[in-house]
């Protein structure tokens, strides 16, 4: 495989403003609106010269949020920092920061739309 296996992710939402406010508060990053007729999409920041991938919040009629079986992990310097913002932004902590051995640390949280996501860091 010549590329990283994940090329894009989408987090489906019902209330776009609430979801945008949640993720910009927790991650400290702005989102950019994408031109996508019939679908409202707001992209997370992307730098094509760096490792990892980007994705978007998506609001599309007929596609509900929550109860998803895909887990998106956001890279962090220290995942405890972003996890500390989750409750204030309207989400829930599922599992506080914990070690995953040589692979660093993760925290699990649920956003305002019922989607669980992960936060990952090396410290």
pLDDT digits (tens, 9 = 90+) for 88-104: 999 999 999 999 999 89
Rounded Cα gap, residues 14 and 65, in angstroms: 6
Q: What local confidence, expressed as pLDDT, does residue 59 receive?
A: 92
User: pTM of this prediction?
Assistant: 0.85
Helix intervals (H) in the chain: 16-27, 79-86
Rounded Cα gap, residues 123 and 106, in angstroms: 9
Residue with tokens 């956001």: 74
Domains and CATH numbers, the chain: 9-121 (3.10.180.10)
Q: Which of 12 and 5 is assigned the larger pLDDT?
A: 12
Q: What local confidence, expressed as pLDDT, does residue 68 receive?
A: 67
* Mean local confidence (pLDDT), 74-82: 95
Residue with tokens 């995953």: 100
Q: Is residue 22 exposed (0-12), middle (13-18) or buried (19+ Cβ within 10 Å)?
A: buried
pLDDT digits (tens, 9 = 90+) for 11-50: 999 999 999 999 999 999 999 999 888 899 999 998 888 8
- The yes-or-no verdict on residue 4 having pLDDT over 80 is no
């Amino acid at each position: 495989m010549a590329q990283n296996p994940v090329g894009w992710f989408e987090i489906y939402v019902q209330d776009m403003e609430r979801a945008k406010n949640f993720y910009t508060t927790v991650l400290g990053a702005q989102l950019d609106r994408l031109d996508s007729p019939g679908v409202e999409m707001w992209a997370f920041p992307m730098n094509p010269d760096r490792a990892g991938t980007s994705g978007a919040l998506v609001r599309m009629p007929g596609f509900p949020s929550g109860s998803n079986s895909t887990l998106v992990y956001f890279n962090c310097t220290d995942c405890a920092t972003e996890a500390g913002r989750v409750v204030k932004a309207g989400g829930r902590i599922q599992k506080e920061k914990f070690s995953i051995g040589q692979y660093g640390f993760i925290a699990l949280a649920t956003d305002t739309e019922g989607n669980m996501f992960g936060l990952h860091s090396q410290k």
